[in-house]
Amino acid sequence: MKVAEIIRLFDAYAPFRYQESYDKSGLQVGDPNDTVTGALLSLDITEAVLDEAIEKGCNLIIAHHPVIFSGIKNLTGRNYVQRVVQKAIKHDINLLAVHTNLDNMRQGVNQRIAERLGLQDTRILAPLSGNLLKLCTYVPTAQAEHLRTALFAAGAGHIGQYSECSFSSTGSGTFRGSKDSKPFIGTAGGAQEKVQEDKIEVLVPVHLKNRVEQALVAAHPYEEVAFDWLQLQNHNPETGAGMTGSLPLPVPATEFLALLKKQMKAGMVRHTALTDKAVQKIAVCGGSGSFLLKDAIAAGADVFVTADFKYHQFFDAEGKILIADIGHFESEQFTVEIFDDILKKKNVTFAVLLSTLDTNPIKYF
Ligand SMILES: [Zn+2]
């Protein structure tokens, strides 16, 4: 299997186009044409992780955090980033980062945290907007069902827990083909045709636009297919930052913190003052999630589980929510399991290994 196929596999699960503008997800070092000899999965790429990959015969490292984050103007081994890049090139190791594109997916980093905490009824906390399109097309009523089926198969018409969503209305279309045309109805160079057509409207996430358009053209009977793409301002509930979910029953805050510590293997939890109020609705955000505090409060969450809160930001809880900061590494350490699942589902022919190294740069005394 080529590196390019692995990139496509991850792109299908968490499209790279959904990464944040500041991010550098994707292949950072390497050659898409390389044949994968083995994949090492890690949260971070350090020199030690690179050595582990070399030792274990893996020429692909898939990590959550990109090793190159800001511009590199020279490669002289002056810092660990440069040394990692140089060594990866020397040893033909491919470095693939799957970062905020995975943070922004319903089935991503936060879903994994929610599962570990046993949260139910999960929803994206701050959905992204602007990545949904509406496709409108016109087809003879007799062929409408066939076309709808083809569009659904290509991924159109999916909303939350619902699939095969569409709206159709009936009207009349007209056309007149030239003598060089190949009309589905009527004759080339003949009189104007008036046909009963269905207008079909379906939602399409932007990453599936090309695939759905190809399916449309392939399944539509007309030589020239009439269709419009409209960009929507709607939120896409499948993409965005953070997640909320509920514990099956309300529990005392201390009980939840104990569960959190255990399930997320956290050495400690930094938190705001406890109250007597039981907690049930939990907001989570793997990594640095303090920017979502207002959203978590607005969503009515009792607790916000995340990392990297600064001293003054704890004050912003204002007694409305319990902030539980478990540490950046701790909150995202299970992300490699998602990578593992993606590769295992595909029955890849090379070895897939989870790094045995603890890359957390923060230690607790
Ligand atoms: Zn992170």
Q: For 27-63, what is each residue's pLDDT tens digit? A: 999 999 999 999 999 999 999 999 999 999 999 999 9
Sign of CA dihedral 155, 160, 161, 162: negative
**Domain annotation for the chain: domains and CATH numbers:** 3-102+334-354 (3.40.1390.30), 109-123+241-326 (3.40.1390.30), 131-232 (3.30.70.120)
Centroid of ligand 1 to alpha carbon of 287 (angstroms): 4
Centroid of ligand 1 to alpha carbon of 170 (angstroms): 50
For residue 193, name the pLDDT band (cuts at 50, 70, 90).
very high
| Contact in structure between 143 and 128 (CB atoms under 8 Å) | no
User: What pLDDT is stored for residue 75 in this prediction?
Assistant: 93
- pTM passes above 0.85: yes
User: What pLDDT is stored for residue 287 in this prediction?
Assistant: 96
What secondary structure letter does DSSP report for 38?
E
Share of the chain above pLDDT 90, in %: 96
For residue 161, name the pLDDT band (cuts at 50, 70, 90).
confident
For residues 315-341, average pLDDT: 97
Q: Minimal CA–CA distance to 211: which of 163, 156, 154, 165?
A: 154
Tokens 């994206």 locate to: 124
Centroid of ligand 1 to alpha carbon of 100 (angstroms): 8
Q: Does residue 91 surpass a pLDDT of 90?
A: yes
Q: Does residue 275 surpass a pLDDT of 90?
A: no
What secondary structure letter does DSSP report for 53?
H
User: What pLDDT is stored for residue 229 in this prediction?
Assistant: 98
Angle at 153 between CA 150 and CA 156, to 5 degrees: 90
User: What pLDDT is stored for residue 276 in this prediction?
Assistant: 87
77, two tokens: 């081994």
For 17-32, what is each residue's pLDDT tens digit? Answer: 999 999 999 999 999 9
Centroid of ligand 1 to alpha carbon of 181 (angstroms): 57
Centroid of ligand 1 to alpha carbon of 327 (angstroms): 10
Q: What is the largest CA-CA distance in the chain?
A: 86
Tokens 């070399």 locate to: 54
* Dist. CA 227–CA 219, nearest whole Å: 13
Q: Does residue 310 surpass a pLDDT of 90?
A: yes
| Contact in structure between 87 and 209 (CB atoms under 8 Å) | no
Query: Residues of 72-85 as b/e, b for ≥16 C-beta within 10 angstroms?
Result: eeeeeeeeebbbbb
